[in-house]
Structure 1
Amino acid sequence: MTKNKLSVLVFALAAAGVCNAEEAGGQTEATNNGPTVLETIVVTATRDEQTLRMLPASATVVDTQSLDITSHTHIQEALVRVPGANFARGNGQEYLPSLRSAILTGAGGCGSVLTAVDGVPLRASGFCNINELFDGHTEVAERIEVIRGPGSALWGANAMNGVINVISPRVTDEPEYRLGVEGGPHDYMRMKFSASRRMGDHGLRADLSMGHDGGYRHDSGFDQQKLTLRHEYDGEQVSVASTLSMTNLNQETAGYIVGDEIYRDRRERNENPNPEAYRDTQSVRWASHIKYRLDDSSFLSFTPYARYTDMDFLQHFLPGTPLEENGQKSFGLQSAYHKRFDNWQIVTGLDLEYTDAFLKQAQDAPTAGSPFLMATIPEGKHYDYEVDAIVAAPFIHTSWQMTERLSMTAGLRYEVVRYDYDNRMLDGRTDEDGVPCGFGGCRYSRPADRFDRFESWSPKFGLVYDLADDHQVYLNLAQGFRAPQATELYRLQNAQDKAHLESEEVLSAEIGARGQYDRLSYEIALYAMKKRHEIFQDSSRLNVDDGEIRSRGIEVGLGYRFNEQWDMALAASYAEHEYSNHRFSGSTDIYENDVDGAPHDFGSARVGWNFLPGARAELEWVHQGEYYTDPENEHSYDGHNIFNLYSFWRLNPAWKLNVRVTNLLDRKYAERADYTSFGGDRYFPGEPRALYVGVERKW
């Protein structure tokens, strides 16, 4: 694999241009007279509205226009516009996350990127799901804010590589109603409805989306429904924004297809070797954001919240295809005191959370395959446990305007997580009735009841220096962490009866520059990261925490507006992720090997054309570089280049037409490539060319 492709992506794509102005929260345009990208408003970093110029961090906003024109059917289509984000699309609504990292897999892979809606994480700490963004109502979002690198002291656990925060639409000042319908191939249909009305100090809003997709592969597809209700109250001293969200997903899942470059075969790419697989999941979330103004320079904020999730998931990738049932009920409180002084400000508070979760795994038929698999994976229940968890985290975050041009930010968070685990089956690695398995014992091992406690500190320090009114540089030093997930601690295998795990930690150093010159907006970030105590499953299927990964890279976002009609944009990344300690994959020491699933270069570029008043078209190029598919670096995927065409046309104030063509050149490619010693090369094939047409009525 070529080790240096920076010129391929950054310089070759830079001729094409991206990311900025149009993705700056709807706040900026790269024009001579418009505000600069530094005035972009974000709330994710400090839980309050703040301009980007105050942040010593990398932040990107996928704004309303970007979400509107892509009208994404999958969250990956929106996040491809973010430098450093390389989400791998799975079947249906599934995905594998990647933010300043390799494509993350495994039980704890979801714990490296924190996903939230309006500042409240989608899942409880310690109980993430790698696909959890499908519970966010991104189809109707006002914008999506992405912080790259360890989150601030206000976020804590799981924000090791960054934060993805979905911002819900607010109640409009004038009454507004929208109804949109769209259709596409494979019986794809989606309806979206929004209603918004303000009555004095109160406002009400409802957003509903309902989608059906028959799937481009055999026995695949999904039905999904999402509803978000919002109430706003804005008084003289108190403002309250409350949301209630409900989601339901019924998905027929298609698994990997197996064979060297089999994704290139037009017939085989449509096959589904796991027609029995499915995922059914429901969620309910409530949160109330309360802001109490003490005076002109200070306020208190409180966000009580509650969540409920329930999921049935057939694990088609495991021998015996066992059924997993999991769910959680959680509630919590985010609280903070905000105070502004003449040249500095402070945010300090306490976050609390309680979770009641369960997990069950069972298979209803004997395992097929080799005598070893048949003997070691019994029919019946494998796991049945409950976990109660308590999280407490005090924090402090300060900003100081040291001089007219230099500002400093510092923060510290202390977080303690306590698990109370209750095994509801027999302890050990027998079958559910206590009968030992052959070949030394059953694969699945159930630890005895226990308590676990994890404590972590998360410091952060940053400097921002204004070179000029529209140009600045920054330095960001941070440490992120995550406690072991419950599944890593209690869902054990083979002879392991207790997992001795520590919290994963990431040390990060970043320098960056951003600003605007005439019609050009730009952001550049260089970073180095070291992950310690990485939790992974070794070749004996034991959960261990002695992994280390070293990462370094550069991210570039550019935006250039030629005139009122034409503009270009770029979101480019070059990164190297390496195993930095001696450990073995099989019999191979993988020290200094590239992490599998980690392309050096990836990104997207777009050219936009405002061809009529109220009408726009964008041609998008999505680039995925070559990457290794195994830790030994013996197998790889060549990468791909895909082109998409997006457009909308506002015919008049009431009607809008949206047309998009994905995979415009009908390339045969893989959304995700992998290699296993027992199965060989395997792929999630990319969708063929598809045409989607939608129409929206507003009144």
Structure 2
Amino acid sequence: MLNKTIIGAAALAVQSMAAEQTTELDNIERITTTTSRFETVALSYPRALNWVSAETLATVEPQHIQQVLNRIAGVNLQRGNGQEYLPAIRSPVFTGAGACGELLTTEDGIALRSAGFCNINELFEAGTEYAQSIEVLKGPGTVIYGSNAMHGVVNVVTRNPIDAPEFVGLELGSYGFKRLTTSAGNNADEHGLGINLAITDDTGYRDEEGFEQAKVHVRYRTRLDNVDVSAGLSLSSLDQETATFITGLDSYRDAEIAQSNVNPEAYRKADSARLWIRFSGIQQSADNAYEWQVTPYVRYQDMDFLMHFLPGQPNELNDQTSLGVLSSAQWQLAPDVSVTVGADAEITDASLQQIQANPTQGSPFLQATIPAGRQYDYAVDATMVAAYGELNWDLTDAWQLSAGARWERIEYDYDNLMVSGRVDENGNTCGFGGCRYSRPDDRTDSFSEFSPQVSMSYQLDPQQMLFVVLAQGYRAPQATELYRLQRAQTVAELDSVKAQNLEVGYKWISSALEVQVALYHMDKDNVIFRDSDFFNRSDAETRHQGVELTIGFQINEQWRLSTAMTYGRHQYRNDLGNLLLAGNDMDTAPRRLATAQLQWTPTDSLTGEIDWRYTSEYFLEPENERLYNGHNIVDLRMRWQLNDNWQLTGQVLNALDRAYAERADYTVFSGPRYFPGRPRSVQMGVEYQF
């Protein structure tokens, strides 16, 4: 039988290499939420799985999740203002109302949003400030995940305050950054209760920007007869004053412009709550073993933000309430064969309003076609049901086969709460051919998908493994793509976006050197876009291919080098209307990404780090006529364990004080525009462990 323990330990060490300094196999942790809902060593499901370790999180103390996720090969989050960002995993940077559906974000294995109601910035609701680790599965999700898990899954694993040491920490940084974190808990007999808390206040370096945010996570654990019961409650609240794009070619190089904020009125307010209860058990006999778990959950979210990027600057108010359940069962039928089956279900009640308070400014065309008042007002009741199964079979001592599939159905029941059509809220027609915003009549839409996956792995020896994965991913259209229409479109006849992905990988580990290589090729069909007539269509075809290299080298007892490098091409496969794009690079898709950390540990209590990040040039628009030139950024960090109780941290961010853009793009209305990166800044922290 395949030696899963040795290979799994090797895989985990390889994929933690961006931060890990420990390579002893008996110290390798187990994972439970990304490749499987059951505890397993990392390579029992051979995929490109990486994560940010607790040690990295403690060293970086990220103000924004981008600062740690971009250490992973193939990941490229572009930071906006405050807690906002735009994501990319083996892809261009996703933009637009429905683009968030290209990847799945979860906390403790529970999706942050319902499948049809994602938000591009939704990771700001996850408890990254008190995370134990952050897992990233690249490529289409395993069979346990459905819609949205096309390019990957990001799962924030919260610190378990019941068993972890209690602490209180304070961080202070440039431009008014302040954060308080604490964790406390107790474990009496079979019962346990704990709490994590993080409160952040950041006034920001740009004019009239900043945010206040609070996050709480409560964990409970008990045992009833032969059933283990655990529960988690996550709450978050964000109050943000937003600084927007600056415009003008290379304007980020001008310190005065970079610090300016032309939309000081922009804001975002968001609250969320998630409650889950997990029931699980294990039964064993002489012939086989059986493990199961059932996780009911409820989530709530509401958001209010100013759409400063649209003419007339309307407000969007959206909310959703969901009730769902995840279930899995796993049988060890023989020493070399296991089967996993499960079923998931969810119901969601969501609503959205877009309301413009003031008359539109600008040209006569804009004033006539975008009247003030309600522009959208609708509710959607959604249901999701899914079933899946997976077989894992050790064919020989070296060969392992995994095969599975998932079937999923999503249905939307849309209710338009105002007058339908391309008219204002009172039913009046607009000049210049009609109003900009169009509202469909009440309707029902459903999407059913079957998603297979198969993988094969071969153990060359206890230190080396090869694997190949063939998988199909998909996502249903988001509610905003179906019902938030413009111009003459009255119905959006959209199909599910589908992706076919082939991946080949190699992993190797020794006591001093770890290497992981992954090559992937993904073709996507029915990609949703907005054409030149402002119609939402699903006619685009794209291709995503690349190679990722991750290396961890323990030079000696004091020095360690970790690096992650990516080369990727993300291209259009067809023309879109009158745009001749076939073969063009997709916009905001740098071909080369790299990061490296050189760590110095002169004593057991002191660690220093130099962190380098590189982003190559990339095109700002699909026609490939304009470029951002890329950048190199260097950060310096130090962590000092004074004694058993006290720890100090310090860092200098953007130590070389480079002028750069966190994000660059182009519109015909503004020309080149940028989110400027912060100048050189410092951050210091102190933590007391009880």
Q: TM-score range by the shorter chain?
A: over 0.9
Match of 1:314 among 300, 306, 310: 306
Q: Once the 2 structures are TM-superposed, how far is the Cα of residue 40 of structure 1 from its aligned partner?
A: 5.9
Q: Once the 2 structures are TM-superposed, how far is the Cα of residue 540 of structure 1 from its aligned partner?
A: 1.6
Which residue in 1 is equivalent to 2:77? Answer: 87
Q: AA paired with 1:92?
A: G
Once structures 1 and 2 are overlaid, which stretch shifts more, 128-137 or 194-203? 194-203
**Is 1:70 aligned to 2:54, yes or no?**
no
Instruction: Find the aligned partners of 1:643 and 1:659 in 2 and give their Cα distance.
Output: 15
Q: Once the 2 structures are TM-superposed, how far is the Cα of residue 52 of structure 1 from its aligned partner?
A: 2.2
Question: Does structure 1 retain, via aligned residues, the 8 Å contact 2:20–2:55?
Answer: no
Q: AA paired with 1:224?
A: Q
Q: Once the 2 structures are TM-superposed, how far is the Cα of residue 394 of structure 1 from its aligned partner?
A: 0.6
**Is 1:521 aligned to 2:521, yes or no?**
no
Instruction: Find the aligned partners of 1:67 and 1:39 in 2 and give their Cα distance.
Output: 16
Instruction: Find the aligned partners of 2:495 and 2:594 in 1 and give their Cα distance.
Output: 34
Which residue in 2 is equivalent to 1:168? Answer: 158
Which residue in 2 is equivalent to 1:591? Answer: 582
Q: Once the 2 structures are TM-superposed, how far is the Cα of residue 27 of structure 1 from its aligned partner?
A: 11
Aligned in 2, Cα 1:37/1:513: closer, same or farther, shift over 3 Å? farther
Match of 2:337 among 323, 341, 344: 344
Q: After superposition, where does 1:601-612 map in structure 2 within 5 Å? A: 601-612=592-603
Which residue in 2 is equivalent to 1:499? Answer: 492
Question: Does structure 2 retain, via aligned residues, the 8 Å contact 1:27–1:41?
Answer: no
Q: Once the 2 structures are TM-superposed, how far is the Cα of residue 377 of structure 1 from its aligned partner?
A: 0.4
Q: Once the 2 structures are TM-superposed, how far is the Cα of residue 39 of structure 1 from its aligned partner?
A: 7.6
Which residue in 2 is equivalent to 1:691? Answer: 682
SS in 2 for 1:350: strand
SS in 1 for 2:435: coil
Question: Does structure 1 retain, via aligned residues, the 8 Å contact 2:14–2:515?
Answer: no
| Structure 1 residue runs without a partner (length 5+) | 1-18
Question: Does structure 1 retain, via aligned residues, the 8 Å contact 2:78–2:663?
Answer: yes
Aligned in 2, Cα 1:338/1:534: closer, same or farther, shift over 3 Å? same
Task: Count residues in correspondence.
Answer: 676
Match of 1:96 among 86, 89, 92: 86
Aligned in 2, Cα 1:20/1:666: closer, same or farther, shift over 3 Å? farther
Instruction: Find the aligned partners of 2:653 and 2:597 in 1 and give their Cα distance.
Output: 14
Instruction: Find the aligned partners of 1:465 and 1:29 in 2 and give their Cα distance.
Output: 27
Q: Once the 2 structures are TM-superposed, how far is the Cα of residue 38 of structure 1 from its aligned partner?
A: 8.8
SS in 1 for 2:56: helix
Which residue in 2 is equivalent to 1:127? Answer: 117
**Is 1:55 aligned to 2:45, yes or no?**
yes
Match of 1:672 among 652, 663, 674: 663
Q: Deviations for 1:79-130, whole angstroms, at most 9, x for unmatched residues?
A: 0111110010000000001001000001111101100011110001100000
Q: Once the 2 structures are TM-superposed, how far is the Cα of residue 236 of structure 1 from its aligned partner?
A: 6.3
Match of 1:333 among 304, 319, 325: 325
Which residue in 1 is equivalent to 2:548? Answer: 555
SS in 2 for 1:366: coil
Aligned in 2, Cα 1:81/1:56: closer, same or farther, shift over 3 Å? same
Which residue in 1 is equivalent to 2:349? Answer: 356
SS in 2 for 1:150: coil
Which residue in 2 is equivalent to 1:143? Answer: 133
SS in 1 for 2:338: strand
Which residue in 1 is equivalent to 2:204? Answer: 215
Question: Does structure 1 retain, via aligned residues, the 8 Å contact 2:175–2:203?
Answer: yes
Aligned in 2, Cα 1:451/1:117: closer, same or farther, shift over 3 Å? same
Q: AA paired with 1:65?
A: E
Q: AA paired with 2:489?
A: Q
Q: Deviations for 1:575-630, whole angstroms, at most 9, x for unmatched residues?
A: 0011001224xx53111100001000012111001132222111100111110000
Which residue in 1 is equivalent to 2:557? Answer: 564
Question: Does structure 2 retain, via aligned residues, the 8 Å contact 1:623–1:641?
Answer: yes
Question: Does structure 1 retain, via aligned residues, the 8 Å contact 2:167–2:184?
Answer: yes
Which residue in 1 is equivalent to 2:605? Answer: 614
SS in 1 for 2:367: helix
Question: Does structure 1 retain, via aligned residues, the 8 Å contact 2:524–2:542?
Answer: yes
Once structures 1 and 2 are overlaid, which stretch shifts more, 53-62 or 653-662? 53-62
Aligned in 2, Cα 1:326/1:159: closer, same or farther, shift over 3 Å? same
Q: AA paired with 1:110?
A: C
Which residue in 2 is equivalent to 1:541? Answer: 534
Match of 1:481 among 455, 474, 479: 474
Question: Does structure 2 retain, via aligned residues, the 8 Å contact 1:311–1:325?
Answer: yes
Q: Deviations for 1:361-400, whole angstroms, at most 9, x for unmatched residues?
A: 0111100001110110001000000000000001001111
Q: Once the 2 structures are TM-superposed, how far is the Cα of residue 295 of structure 1 from its aligned partner?
A: 2.6
Q: Once the 2 structures are TM-superposed, how far is the Cα of residue 294 of structure 1 from its aligned partner?
A: 2.8
Which residue in 1 is equivalent to 2:385? Answer: 392
Q: AA paired with 1:169?
A: R
Which residue in 2 is equivalent to 1:370? Answer: 363
TM-score by length of 2: 0.96
Q: Deviations for 1:313-351, whole angstroms, at most 9, x for unmatched residues?
A: 100000000000000000100011111131111110110
Q: After superposition, where does 1:644-655 map in structure 2 within 5 Å? A: 644-655=635-646
| Structure 2 residue runs without a partner (length 5+) | 1-10
Which residue in 2 is equivalent to 1:10? Answer: none
**Is 1:420 aligned to 2:420, yes or no?**
no
Instruction: Find the aligned partners of 1:670 and 1:27 in 2 and give their Cα distance.
Output: 26
Which residue in 2 is equivalent to 1:3? Answer: none
Q: AA paired with 1:142?
A: Q
Q: Once the 2 structures are TM-superposed, how far is the Cα of residue 237 of structure 1 from its aligned partner?
A: 2.2
Aligned in 2, Cα 1:20/1:670: closer, same or farther, shift over 3 Å? farther
Instruction: Find the aligned partners of 1:359 and 1:395 in 2 and give their Cα distance.
Output: 32
Which residue in 2 is equivalent to 1:259? Answer: 248
Instruction: Find the aligned partners of 1:556 and 1:591 in 2 and give their Cα distance.
Output: 28
Question: Does structure 2 retain, via aligned residues, the 8 Å contact 1:408–1:462?
Answer: yes
Aligned in 2, Cα 1:515/1:287: closer, same or farther, shift over 3 Å? same
Q: AA paired with 1:580?
A: R
Question: Does structure 1 retain, via aligned residues, the 8 Å contact 2:18–2:564?
Answer: no
Which residue in 1 is equivalent to 2:8? Answer: none
SS in 1 for 2:175: coil
Which residue in 2 is equivalent to 1:237? Answer: 226
Q: Deviations for 1:3-47, whole angstroms, at most 9, x for unmatched residues?
A: xxxxxxxxxxxxxxxx9848629997565xx22999864531111
Q: Percent identity, aligned pairs only?
A: 44
Which residue in 2 is equivalent to 1:299? Answer: 291
Match of 1:450 among 435, 443, 446: 443
Instruction: Find the aligned partners of 1:246 and 1:25 in 2 and give their Cα distance.
Output: 32
Question: Does structure 2 retain, via aligned residues, the 8 Å contact 1:28–1:39?
Answer: no
Which one scores higher on RCO, CA 8 angstroms, separation ≥ 6? 1
**Is 1:632 aligned to 2:601, yes or no?**
no
Instruction: Find the aligned partners of 1:677 and 1:645 in 2 and give their Cα distance.
Output: 39
Instruction: Find the aligned partners of 2:79 and 2:206 in 1 and give their Cα distance.
Output: 14
Q: CA RMSD in A?
A: 1.7
Q: AA paired with 1:77?
A: Q
Q: Once the 2 structures are TM-superposed, how far is the Cα of residue 437 of structure 1 from its aligned partner?
A: 0.4
Match of 1:198 among 183, 187, 200: 187
Q: AA paired with 2:120?
A: I
